[in-house]
Structure 1
Amino acid sequence: MATSTLIRLLDENLRRAPEYGAGLSNHLPMALHALHVLGASDAGLERFAAAYIDRKKLPVMSAHGAGRTPSLRLGDIGCFEAWQAHYDARIAALGPRDALARALPELWPGVAAAAFHGPIRVAHAWQLGHPGELGAALAYWASRWQRIDVESASTQDLELADWLAAAEAAARSWRADGRLISERMDRASRTPEFRAFAGGLRPCANALPHAARWAACLYADTGDFTVLHVVTGSRAVLQLSALSAPPPQIWHAWAAAIMASAIGERQRVEATSCSWKEVVGAARSSLDDHVVKLVHACHELSADHGDDEFLAAACRAVAQGAP
């Protein structure tokens, strides 16, 4: 259950913009929830929030939408405040669960939003049980909605293991410029290498948990920053899938993110501390939002699906820190 300190910090963050710098996501509400679940104290939450706000120079919400007719265009960050008002009203009318279940079918095709930060923020908000944060999270997903499609259907019919191997091979054979992960994902999706395999995954049961485990292993072996987002994004999709089944586009986005990474050859880093107790303790004291979120995601995925790969990924994150 959220403490009064966590609720206050979340309320205060609702006055801040969903992004800072040149299109980078405000991770504060996601990291605060992750820290809370990992057992951080109220003092620890306060410490993290103060450091994050100062380090990222988080801007307050602009008033650029004041006096304009509300617009609800998917994928337009300029519509964030309109989407936030829309979802706040829907949550007030339907309640958080029904409002979220109703929103997901429209949002799922754009699951790539801000390198999966749309669904990641929504999943954290849903678990938090904070209606205001859920409205803001849904608004962020809608306003950064990004659809990844396969322009021509693959003639392949690949088992999951073969499809994942094809994604990894494509990631090593192709490189794209682009400061943001979302930009590189878009460029990857337009390549012949992507079209050759991305649409050729044969449907199978429990594909996403298996893919999440594979991504955790890839992160443990490479420490790649983009792959980290695939792991945390997979956790979010699994969490939200209980309310609404995601469409095939999630696999297109997943494939584009793997291709957009800069992975080299796999090489496992030996961590000095590799027990959940030590890793969770290190994450609780960390000021690195990505480490906190990755450890939280892996801890939850391990509890739900088992496997040492999630622990190995968490150990790599703690040992390596932010890129």
Structure 2
Amino acid sequence: MDTTGILDEALQRLHGSGPERLGRLTNHAPMAVEALSVRGQAGTVHRWLDLYAHKLEEFPSRVEPVTPANWRAALGDPRRAADWIDHFEREIADRPWRDVLAQWWPRLLPGLCGGSTHPLIRVGHAVRTLLAGEHTAPRLAELAHGLGYWAARHQPVADLAHLPGAGADGAAAALDAVPPLTERHGTFPDRLARVTDLPMWAATITDPDPDPDPDRARLHLLDLVRAATHRYATHGHGDEIMLVHAATAPNAVLRTLPALPPAQWAPSVRAAWTASAAVTAMYAPDTPVAFTPPGTFTPEEVFERARAHGDEHVIKLTDTALDVGDEQALAAALRCMELNEPLR
């Protein structure tokens, strides 16, 4: 974790900006600078921000304070993003951040697909930083921004029909069994509304259980993150940006688990699977293609290539690929660099 203070400087610089731009496109900068800092590239953060700055918009206007009496009415209202961020800043100032997270995680989890899963991913980056280092004011504020963005973009998935039995051999088989949408056009919310059924996966973990095993939940999430990351190498061409989130969204849940009560781990697996499988249904191509990496590289070399490339999605997927840590994951990161335009 960065100990230079650069990450805190960058977060302070970013907290004057809103979580979105152009109506609903996400501000990825807080996630990218956290990943750069974690992976030993803190010295490049401000230069990267200078290149990204044209994508930032001013912090949104406030409507009215979110309170214990009115929060349900404000949930899922993107006009209330500033109100929600203010609310979580007050909450985290008054109570330990883990207590706030544990209270709100079950409330927010059903809506983790809101904002195309970006709010969840932002929370995962913020929690990783807090678990690994000091609880500085900018890092606590970043958690408040992530939770506030999630609450404002909260979007529950409609009740799904569960297709039988896929994935007994693991998450990779389950993702292969996800039926693609017949109409793959429109925005993320438009497509999400068309997702009506998904294969069952890890039923022994995700079904209600009076005594769930939290470690088994963690192992299932590891399997899902690995499978979704590997799959990008052969399926990322279906949508080079959106399919990144099939891996980074469940990884955000995985990163958050250590900060949550163990009783919340099993429900988190169900939500992570729903997000990853839904993104797969909405954007995966009909046919995979083989990908041969342009050489053999160490994880550090792959991340250096991602930093030089600069695209925020490339940085985030490469960060997740390094968490997975094997050659196929690194190949997925290299494929992501090939498919996406560099940041200029």
Superposition TM-score, scaled by structure 1 size: 0.86
Distance 1:120 1:166, change over 3 A: closer
- Residue in structure 1 matched with residue 129 of structure 2 by the alignment: 128
- Residue in structure 2 matched with residue 294 of structure 1 by the alignment: 317
Residues of 2 paired with 1:126 and 1:151: CA distance? 29
- Residue in structure 1 matched with residue 291 of structure 2 by the alignment: 269
Distance 1:91 1:217, change over 3 A: same
The Cα of 1:185 is off from its aligned counterpart by 2.0
- Residue in structure 2 matched with residue 24 of structure 1 by the alignment: 25
Q: Tell me, what secondary structure is at the counterpart of 1:187? A: coil
- Residue in structure 1 matched with residue 220 of structure 2 by the alignment: 207
After superposition, residues 133-144 of structure 1 pair within 5 angstroms as: 133-144=142-153
Residues of 2 paired with 1:228 and 1:255: CA distance? 12
Residues of 2 paired with 1:137 and 1:170: CA distance? 29
Residues of 1 paired with 2:17 and 2:228: CA distance? 32
The answer to which of 6-15 and 24-33 deviates more is 6-15
- Residue in structure 2 matched with residue 102 of structure 1 by the alignment: 103
Residues of 2 paired with 1:82 and 1:60: CA distance? 15
Residues of 2 paired with 1:292 and 1:69: CA distance? 35
Residue 251 of structure 2 is aligned with which of 229, 235, 239?
235
1:15-52 deviation digits (Å, cap 9, x = unpaired): 1111011311100000000111121142x111110111
Distance 1:79 1:274, change over 3 A: farther
- Partner amino acid for 1:122? V
- Residue in structure 1 matched with residue 195 of structure 2 by the alignment: 188
After superposition, residues 65-76 of structure 1 pair within 5 angstroms as: 65=63, 68=64, 70=66, 72=71, 73-76=74-77
Number of aligned positions between the proteins: 306
Residues of 1 paired with 2:160 and 2:232: CA distance? 28
1:98-153 deviation digits (Å, cap 9, x = unpaired): 22222211111112122211210001112223011110000011111121143445
Q: Tell me, what secondary structure is at the counterpart of 2:287? A: coil
The answer as to whether partners of 1:171 and 1:260 remain within 8 angstroms in 2 is no
Distance 1:34 1:182, change over 3 A: farther
- Partner amino acid for 2:251? R
Residues of 2 paired with 1:163 and 1:126: CA distance? 25
- Partner amino acid for 2:223? H
CA RMSD of aligned residues (A): 2.4
The Cα of 1:14 is off from its aligned counterpart by 1.0
Residues of 1 paired with 2:177 and 2:265: CA distance? 29
Q: Percent of aligned pairs with the same residue?
A: 29
Residues of 2 paired with 1:86 and 1:315: CA distance? 40
Residues of 2 paired with 1:282 and 1:199: CA distance? 37
The Cα of 1:90 is off from its aligned counterpart by 1.2
Superposition TM-score, scaled by structure 2 size: 0.81
The Cα of 1:283 is off from its aligned counterpart by 1.6
Distance 1:246 1:175, change over 3 A: farther
The answer as to whether partners of 2:60 and 2:81 remain within 8 angstroms in 1 is no
- Residue in structure 2 matched with residue 216 of structure 1 by the alignment: 229
Distance 1:149 1:164, change over 3 A: farther
The answer as to whether partners of 1:273 and 1:279 remain within 8 angstroms in 2 is no
Unmatched tracts of structure 2, length 5 or more: 131-138, 206-215
Residues of 2 paired with 1:114 and 1:74: CA distance? 13
Residues of 2 paired with 1:207 and 1:108: CA distance? 18
**Relative contact order: is structure 1 or structure 2 higher (C-alpha 8 Å, sep ≥ 6)?**
1
Residues of 2 paired with 1:134 and 1:14: CA distance? 11
The answer as to whether partners of 1:17 and 1:59 remain within 8 angstroms in 2 is yes
Unmatched tracts of structure 1, length 5 or more: none
Residues of 1 paired with 2:176 and 2:166: CA distance? 14
- Residue in structure 1 matched with residue 184 of structure 2 by the alignment: 176
- Residue in structure 2 matched with residue 148 of structure 1 by the alignment: 157
The answer as to whether partners of 1:6 and 1:32 remain within 8 angstroms in 2 is yes
Residues of 2 paired with 1:132 and 1:300: CA distance? 25
- Residue in structure 2 matched with residue 285 of structure 1 by the alignment: 308
Distance 1:131 1:188, change over 3 A: same
- Residue in structure 1 matched with residue 208 of structure 2 by the alignment: none
The answer as to whether partners of 1:279 and 1:318 remain within 8 angstroms in 2 is no
Q: Tell me, what secondary structure is at the counterpart of 1:203? A: helix
Distance 1:163 1:100, change over 3 A: closer
1:136-185 deviation digits (Å, cap 9, x = unpaired): 0000111111211434455x244444875465455446232213x34322
The Cα of 1:212 is off from its aligned counterpart by 1.7
The answer as to whether partners of 2:180 and 2:284 remain within 8 angstroms in 1 is yes
